[in-house]
């Protein structure tokens, strides 16, 4: 990755873009199924249907395509979440829609967990970047909601990591281990727990069950 | 591991126990620093100060000592948490002390994160067992508190995974990345968020800040 956040190997032509995208999609499957160490560039180009030499027009080596894949998954997840909450202003509604978008993203990117977790051992910098980048957007949203009196005055970064961790573990429990979206009652419990946890506005049901 | 949960290679004599413990402590350092693939039995026996042949009196191979290490870390964490909350009956106080015990355990077992996360790729069964075993105790405690009217009637397993995920991510953020326990204000925010999130009892400060 470059310092200004621009993706490496970003080609100028539409056809080049498409080839690069095919390589990244193949890499997502190969790294997810084989793991970084056992994955080969040959397997990636084979699955992408391009000549092995073509790979090097886009990425210098196996690690470079892996790092770029983590960055693409990060921006894909952030785009999916942003689209899901577009136009919403209520923080609690934003949280709920955002969690649902995360579970759906993990469900449609079945190797997301394996790839992000491998990143810790392949390139710790991009692993930390992945979570810090997600946290940044979260912190900004929570701080705004605190200023607006919508959310209790808690440490915004703490809440961001609590929410990300809770979503990550529920996604692991249901999407990764059980190959399905979390059941609706689980999502309802999660949302109720989080809403009560941060909501600053007294509500009639604030002390009762859902 | 055996089906009845008994540890493998558990020796009968006190001296044997001590050697086994030395091997596991060395394995914790070697697997944490080198990673499973690069770690060698020679490095483990060298650090433990025992002959290489001695290793095989306790463990059949590298994977066996790794799996046993994950199980020992799990029981060590559960023992530390149980000791920290001994005699307490208030669920919120139990949660707070439990989180503090977890952060302290992670701080004194600096390779905990790297080892548990590697487990996903070394032996997925023991990786899932690690979190499921932690969740079990949690679920039982939360269900009891729900029955007692102390905790809102939410899905107990959902809350257990939310809490474990939140603690895991805050531990990653502070203990793993910053080499320190989370600052007191972060712990206070976490506890306030979780308390409001599940507490069924109306409290005067329920809608305010901490």
Q: How far apart are CA B36 and CA B118, in angstroms?
A: 7
Q: How far apart are CA B193 and CA B95, in angstroms?
A: 12
Taking 90 as the threshold, does the pLDDT of residue B51 lie above it? Answer: yes
Chain A hits for B172, CB-CB cut-off 8 Å, are: 131, 161
- The arithmetic mean of pLDDT across residues A172-184, rounded, is 97
- pLDDT tens per residue across span B148-179: 999 999 999 999 999 999 999 999 999 999 99
- pLDDT tens per residue across span A120-145: 889 999 999 999 999 998 999 999 99
Grade residue B3 by pLDDT with cuts at 50, 70 and 90.
Answer: very low
Kindly report the length of chain A: 210
Q: What is the 3-state secondary structure (H, E, C) of A89-152?
A: CCHHHHHHHHHHHHHHHHHHCCCHHHHHHHHHHHCHHHHHHHHHHHHHHHHHHHHHHHHCCCEC
Q: What pTM does this model have? A: 0.89
Question: Considering only A98-107, A153-162, A199-208, which range has the smallest mean pLDDT?
Answer: A199-208
**What pLDDT shows up at residue B11?**
74
Grade residue B206 by pLDDT with cuts at 50, 70 and 90.
Answer: very low
Interface test with B, best of A184, A189, A195, A200 (most B CBs within 10 A): A189
- pLDDT tens per residue across span A62-99: 999 999 999 999 999 999 999 999 999 998 899 999 99
Question: Which carries the bigger pLDDT value, residue A13 or residue A188?
Answer: A188
Contact at CB, A200 and B207, closer than 8 angstroms: yes
Taking 70 as the threshold, does the pLDDT of residue A41 lie above it? Answer: yes
CB of B56 less than 8 A from some CB of A: no
Q: Which B residues, 63 through 122, put their C-beta within 8 Å of a C-beta on chain A? A: 114, 117-118, 120-121
| Closest CB from A35, A162, A197 relative to B169 | A162
Chain A hits for B197, CB-CB cut-off 8 Å, are: 193-194, 196-198
Chain A hits for B207, CB-CB cut-off 8 Å, are: 199-202, 206
- The arithmetic mean of pLDDT across residues B177-195, rounded, is 95
């Amino acid at each position: 990755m470059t310092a200004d956040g621009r993706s490496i190997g970003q080609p100028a032509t539409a056809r080049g873009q498409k080839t690069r995208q095919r390589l990244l999609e193949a890499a997502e499957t190969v790294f997810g199924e084989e793991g970084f160490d056992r994955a080969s560039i040959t397997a990636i180009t084979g699955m992408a249907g391009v000549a092995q030499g073509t790979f090097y027009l886009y990425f210098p080596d196996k690690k470079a395509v892996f790092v770029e894949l983590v960055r693409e998954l990060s921006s894909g997840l952030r785009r999916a979440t942003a689209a899901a909450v577009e136009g919403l202003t209520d923080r609690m509604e934003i949280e709920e829609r955002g969690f649902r978008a995360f579970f759906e993203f993990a469900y449609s990117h079945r190797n997301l967990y394996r790839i992000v977790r491998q990143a810790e051992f392949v390139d710790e910098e991009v692993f930390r970047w992945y979570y810090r980048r997600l946290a940044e957007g979260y912190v900004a949203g929570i701080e705004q909601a605190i200023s607006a009196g919508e959310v209790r005055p808690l440490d915004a970064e703490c809440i961001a990591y609590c929410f990300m961790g809770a979503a990550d573990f529920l996604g692991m429990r249901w999407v990764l281990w059980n190959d399905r979206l979390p059941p609706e009652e689980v999502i309802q419990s999660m949302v109720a727990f989080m809403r009560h946890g941060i909501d600053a506005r007294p509500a009639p049901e604030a002390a009762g069950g859902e």
